[in-house]
Chain A
Amino acid sequence: MQNFPWLTALVVTPALGALLVWLVRPLHRFARPVAVVWSLAVLAGTVGAIVAYCGADGDVRLTEQVAWIPQFGISYALGVTGTGLAMILLATLLVPLVLLAAWKEQPTMGRSARYAALVLVCESFMVAAFAARDIVLFYVVFEAMLIPVYFLIGSFGGERRKAAALKFLLYSLAGGLVMLAGVIALWAAGPRGPDAFLIDQAALVGLSPTAERLIFLSFFVAFAIKAPMFPVHTWLPDAAQAARPGTSVLLVGVLDKVGTFGMITLCLPLFPNAAQWAAPVITVLAVVSILWGAVLALAQTDILRMIAYTSVSHFGFIVLGIFAFTQTAEAGAAFYMINHGLATGALFLLAGMLIQRRSTHRIDQMGPGLQRTTPLLAGTFLVVGLAAIALPGMSTFVSEFMVIVGTFQALPAAAIVATVGVILAALYILIAYQRIFTGPPREDLADVPDLSARELWAVGPLIAALLVLGFYPAPAVDVTSDDAAVTVAAVTSPSGDPAAVAPSPSEGSAP
């Protein structure tokens, strides 16, 4: 199994599953179980990839490379860093859970099959995005995945889904096209060889300062829209409100991470000087995102919009960590990406279950007093909510702490102001919990069913992961720290010399 193309297999398998579920009509009746089993097989494949990863060496492992469009220096190149593989694990873990949670959402078998097929297509693109080692391949996936998400929001969402899907698509397309200009400019400025777009090749191109800054900005704008950051975040609340909660799980939990992941794997290594040049402004925007997202989350009456705004706040933390350029903050940001996927994913799923039971999105109309009739739902919501606000004992605490401490080393002021976001976070989650669950039992809510076994299985694994990584974060922190060392070294000593890109001995916890 030494040379087995794990990553290609992980990219192709979900797409094949999607075709199977979508095109084979007799299978439509069994679309849901087939899709769940298929995605579990993909998850098993990810575990296999992790085993293979552990048996290999290097910063980027499990690499595959084939010339794709040599005329333009485009290769089909895959490979993962520890962070990338962790994100793939997150994606492949969330997909079966989303499918499980969406079991009863669709009225007809045909629609269920289409929903499952689109989710599986998304899975393919997500894996490819986190594994791409070629800039254009990354870009292709980055853009192409808009289409299945667009249909997931537009075809399956609630009211106002059309407008939300359109807003999502236009924002993302605009960002993507700005990035395309940068991608092409990067190629034009470099030596244009047959593998010019490999990330490792492109990092060696000596750009003039102006060109580097412009190209950096074009990439960053695309990623900031994707992530989403203030002031280009406005599509996310609309999309999350209109989409199925399962779609939102994928959208916020994984797809948006492609933006922050792109900042780590593309923006920093390719444009180290420009990244440092832009860091002050980006840090300010990140802090504004943290506070603005938190304040707006407090003001929301729609539970899905509230979660979306909390995510804007959390993405602010991630970006803050990325652009602090210390190993602790960098590692914390990468770990944060995983934890946020787990916590927000679970929160969206629980919100979906609440909405299904109470037929409303409004926080003030769901309760109060639901805790007495649905103790399991209330309990899981509280645990996940506390994870979202980074309570100690939860993995989110570790990552948020790392980001703040790491940022404090470099930019104390930013870290201090960002801490206010932590306090606001406690407010918005606890107020929501209070409005929905606390209070005396109500007659009219007596027959609201508690979580079923299927629903427990959908959120259980996420809660377990949050707790396990909270008490024993070492494996994840080790992996992200190693990558962070490489990234930070690339930014702080940008000589373009690969030899310089070794873990810096001065700080961090290299194994």
Chain B
Amino acid sequence: MIAPAVAWSMIAPIVIVLGAGVVSVLVEAFVPAKARRIVQLMLAVTAIAGAGIWAMVLAVSRAGTGESAFAGHLLIDPLALFVQVAVAASALVAVFVIADRTADGEDAFTPQAAAAPGSAAEDKARAAGLVQTEVFPLVLFATGGMLAFPAAGDLLTMFVALEVVSLPLYLLTGLARRRRLLSQEASFKYFILGAFASAFFLFGTAWVYGAAGTVNFTDLIYEVTGGDPRLDPLLYAGLAMVVVGLAFKVGAAPFHMWTPDVYQGAPTPVTGFMAACTKIAAFGALVRIVYTVVAPLQWDIGPALWTVTILTMIVGTTVALTQTDVVRMLAYSAIAHAGFVLTGVVSFSSLGISGALFYLFTYGLTTVGAFGVVTLVRARDAQGNIGGEARTLERWRGLGRTSPVLASAMTLFVLAFAGIPLTGGFVGKFAVFAAAFGADAAPLAIVGIACSAVAAFAYVRLIVAMFFAEPTELSAVGVKTEGLTGVAIAISAIATVVLGVWPTPVLDFADKAALLLP
């Protein structure tokens, strides 16, 4: 057996982040507790930013070459690089939100995850002021998985990446500082359903291997188009199961059930990270599979994908309307957005890919910002003590009076979600709907536009509560923090506007990523 040639420079972004994750574990072991948090933060920021910049440099310098690294197990082509840049950008901003603490040194995570909720051990840990800095290596591992996910060159690598993404996220979900039981329940639910989806993916992979004798995407194309027709049912069913596994990860209906509960239970900074980065990475993988392997079968699998897309948009928007919890509302809107991105994916054209990719890029940054705002909006008791997050719509009343800057930022984010012009959300919607219209998938675009109109109402309710209602005694207030979340919100807000006013560079980048797929 000859060792495969490894193009280290090509896979550097993945290696940097995963390597930083390993170093980060060592930091946990050897750096004194006092210095740990700052070291971890610097390490995470440097690694993710470095990976993002490296991927961008690769994309610029090697534009036009789709190279395989690691003997075809990883494909570092413009699609992978675009998704890596998008993941790194959102993850970087998300890390700021994750790392932030309130003025009295309280972060979003439980001091000791192993302690049973409400137990004496937990009180003791809180009193001792323990900090769970293990969050950072977990985030780094998850991010590393996300960078590898869209670059996978075969189904098994993709499965490994999927697990590397998921396992740290299951843990992170259970680490919320407040409402521990809800958080642990969410973690458990996410784990069970996630394992279910992984099983689907793996089982599908096995069927595909059984039918085609390979799991490599490049080889699979030949099998799909010209393989033994008697084995086609096995192959198609296997591919369908793989797609189901990914649809779970992107939160498409009817595989979306976990989303609201997990988003609600997880620590909000983690929710932001998950909602943005996991979605980008999983869509990157979905695009790769759909366009390399499934595209020749679009007439067979197309109707199923259309159904999923339409269902996702309708379920997401209509259920978002009825939510009274801001996080759950954002969770359902995230489902709806998965539907909009799918509109681009399902249109089977390079325009569709570039539209979907652009949508993910801008959606990711906006989402991190929106959840960042949620982390800062806190309940206040009668004595004026700041408590946990105030998530019910009732409590957001009058936020425009008490914290005008936070409320304005949130308004910008939800306007972007609603697709109002001059925000990145509008350009994204325009791009995916244009792709659908251009590819004879006009019904998808029309459903999408109708859903956008309905979804607008859900977002406007939040604006009404913030700006047109008087603050009450129960109303939330913006909490003072060390400022990292503020930085994250500012970056997200600027990105949301810039991508709406001057989207050309990112669109160009997405176009390149779309053209090079077979």
Measured CB to CB, the residues of A under 8 A from B are: 68-72, 136, 139-141, 143-144, 146-147, 151, 154-155, 161-162, 165-166, 169-170, 173-174, 177-178, 180-181, 184-185, 187-188, 192
Contacts and interface: CB of A to CB of B under 8 A. Distances in A.
Contacts of A154: 464, 467-468
B453 interface: yes
Interface stretch (B205-213, B247-255, B425-433): B425-433
Interface stretch (B1-9, B64-72, B503-511): B503-511
B456 interface: yes
Contacts of A71: 354, 504, 507-508, 511
Given A69-B504, A72-B430, A180-B433, A139 B453 contact: no
A180 B434 contact: no
Contacts of A169: 456, 460
B438 A188 contact: yes
B504 A70 contact: yes
A143 B464 contact: no
B182 interface: no
Given A170-B453, A173-B453, A178-B449, 16 more contacts: A70-B504, A71-B508, A72-B430, A143-B421, A144-B421, A147-B415, A155-B468, A170-B457, A177-B449, A177-B452, A180-B433, A181-B433, A184-B437, A187-B434, A187-B437, A188-B437
B503 A69 contact: yes
B500 to A, nearest CB: 9
Contact of A170 (B415, B437, B450, B456): B456
B464 A69 contact: no
A94 B447 CA distance: 40
A177 B453 CA distance: 7
Nearest to B503: A69
Interface class of chain B by DSSP: helix
A187 to B, nearest CB: 6
Contacts of A155: 467-468
B427 A69 contact: yes
Contacts of A185: 437, 442
Contacts of B450: 177
B415 A184 contact: no
B234 interface: no
A203 to B, nearest CB: 19
- Which residue, of B445, B464, B468, has the highest number of chain A Cβ atoms within 10 A? B468
Nearest to B431: A72
Nearest to B504: A69
A188 B430 CA distance: 12
B434 A72 contact: yes
A280 B446 CA distance: 27
Contact of B456 (A72, A140, A173, A192): A173
- Which residue, of B421, B426, B469, has the highest number of chain A Cβ atoms within 10 A? B421
Contacts of A173: 418, 453, 456
B420 interface: yes
B156 interface: no
A140 B445 contact: no
A69 B506 CA distance: 11
A144 B442 CA distance: 25
B427 A165 contact: no
A143 B415 CA distance: 11
B517 interface: no
B409 interface: no
B468 A184 contact: no
A69 B456 CA distance: 25
B422 interface: yes
Contacts of B503: 69
Contact of B449 (A161, A166, A180, A187): A180
A247 to B, nearest CB: 15
A181 B449 contact: yes
A184 B434 contact: yes
Contact of B430 (A174, A178, A184): A184
Contact of B460 (A70, A136, A166, A177): A166
